[in-house]
Structure 1
């Protein structure tokens, strides 16, 4: 178009103009492999940031230990409460009301921690299908001084001729029989108490009875007792419970007795006399006490079962527990023994009966000594008089010498040590007793952490001058 002329055609708008609208679109440039069209960009959502948990607060170790101790204390307390409740219930089952001969209930308690308390212990001759009534076969009076924690023990022979209140004169063992006739099932013990008061001036506060079956069961429940029999006991006329007789023999020396043997030893009359029997009964009673304390007498469930139905007392459960605490703290040397024996009695025949009659003056002197306040004895350690020999029954070098040093630090007298000829054969430690040092053997077992069955009563065969041998076994642990 010539210059200067203005075209009449409108100028195309660059936005609207399509250069290919009047012709074909040129062929597209080939796309490369793996081509992916560009996606429209979308702003990503904000990724949530997880919240940080607050750091756990660490509980100090001492607080954890404190909680553990508290839990253990609570659990232990519950167990102790259960055991105590069980024990208290058991004691309640063997307790009867304290009554006088008229049946009047006696209130209050004599076990206050002060003054003297007297208890009569009765072994009853109760037999199956016995229509002749029950008599006391054994009678002992235990007098406890609560202030000095000492005791006196008096044996009374069953054939002693006395006045029975409300009845004619008779053997003292008939007091229970007549009381039981007056008030069946209840009158025996109260009349025994009244008989002791009238004839001896002894005010008895409480009673405890046990029959033959109970006696046997008690001894067996505590694992038997150990007694040093001074001389052989032979009785060819020992009375059986079916009213027959049999022959019994118990050799001299240290003897481990079960319930039946202990009963025969305590009851036999024909081996020596009724008076010799009194001494044996006291020996048995003290041995039972010693073994019972070692094993925890009142908490022994087998013992509780044995006593159920075999023992009866008018001590309350609280009184029995209080007496038990006194007994545990009472030394054997603090128990003084008395007996109405041949020195103050004579055999006489009254109304056709062979009985014992006491000399009044001698009896009064004995009773005055019995009821006087006992003087606590000066403690004499039995350890010092017992000669001990320690053997090493293992192959640990110096084990016997180390045991000797440990025992000497505990007050024992250890004369010598040596290697056992048969070392290596002792998995368990053994304590051999060759003389009557049973008390020392019990203390040895306790000091060494051994059970009572580690003690073996030999009686003979030991070295001259040696009372006890300790043969150290693999189980023994002695501080270095």
Structure 2
């Protein structure tokens, strides 16, 4: 007997399975796109941070120009007052003979502060803070180090804890309203204590403090009815910084131009080339043009000009320096070679967050909830705890006392040939933090590992560089190992052997 088997009910196809397959395929495709997006976001954030730093560097250089210009005008004003009989010969002799104090290394250190105008939001907040260390005699160089305005001091000797940019405003008010100091004397006292406190934190003797706003530069140019400048090329800067970390367009045509104060300010600040410091020629040109006009075109014998100039200085600059010392600063600055200026900025690109490291990366941003929602920066204090300023202090010590090495701008290779894995990267990160350029981090292309670490130089400053890095790293100098490829050798090459034990530079000084 035959029979047939038939399906009583057809199996239903699941409508979800194709959807699951589609979602799985979409996720597979989206994974690299998501990775690309994260990489793009990281790079974009890095670029924005760099743009902000460029703005700060421009402000940093502009403050220095303002101070030097004001010094030149002070000197010119004094000469004019002499020619008009307003100052006698005895006074002039004492003014001309003024000398600035020096530290044990024969360097003069001044704190430069920059703030907005009187009608600017946040009056008396010093948003630009620069330490300038001048060595006019031996190296004829200047070291400029900028501190971010959000730098936070947890403890001070006389002032309350707080952000660096608020100390001048708050301590000046304290002196006036709490201690009863004359309002005319309080600014100088506040500036002096800020200089002392920063000096204590960074281990450097600050001799004087100068506080200016950008109106000092603008009004100085306008006081001489503008200056004539031979503009060497057409300028169209579409990224001229405004006051809100944004940009506007600044244009100036090639050839002879008469610049008013605002235009001269933009000419000084404009970034027309790829280098942040290539504007130095234009800045020197402006200072020279100012000095020439004051000296040669008769303004100095004009009583109304002198009155205007003194009024400008009184409105836009405060200082702990006397008139004699300001003239001494103008004279001292002439001995500084503009090609021998070292610029650094403390920042939070410290390799702790995302692997990025920059020179001066000694700060970090703690959680805001610890500071009532305020963004602040503290010094990296690993392995020390609690917070200390030992590492920034070591950085300042090297910058100011080993400036010959920094002026040589050595390039380094760090090679591993026996040390623990990652040792070369660790040391390179530390050296970059202290302002040195690293070309290559790699394993040494040698047949056998070595027991002892060595370093050796490969340029005309070999002896100076070898001695310096030997002293700060506790690694002996020697000859290049036989067989080391020439492409692995740089101005200074450091080869890490089995004896290498990483320590922060601060611990080795």
Structure number with greater Rg is 1
Higher helix share: 2
- Which TM-score applies when normalising by structure 1? 0.44
Higher strand share: 1
- Which TM-score applies when normalising by structure 2? 0.42
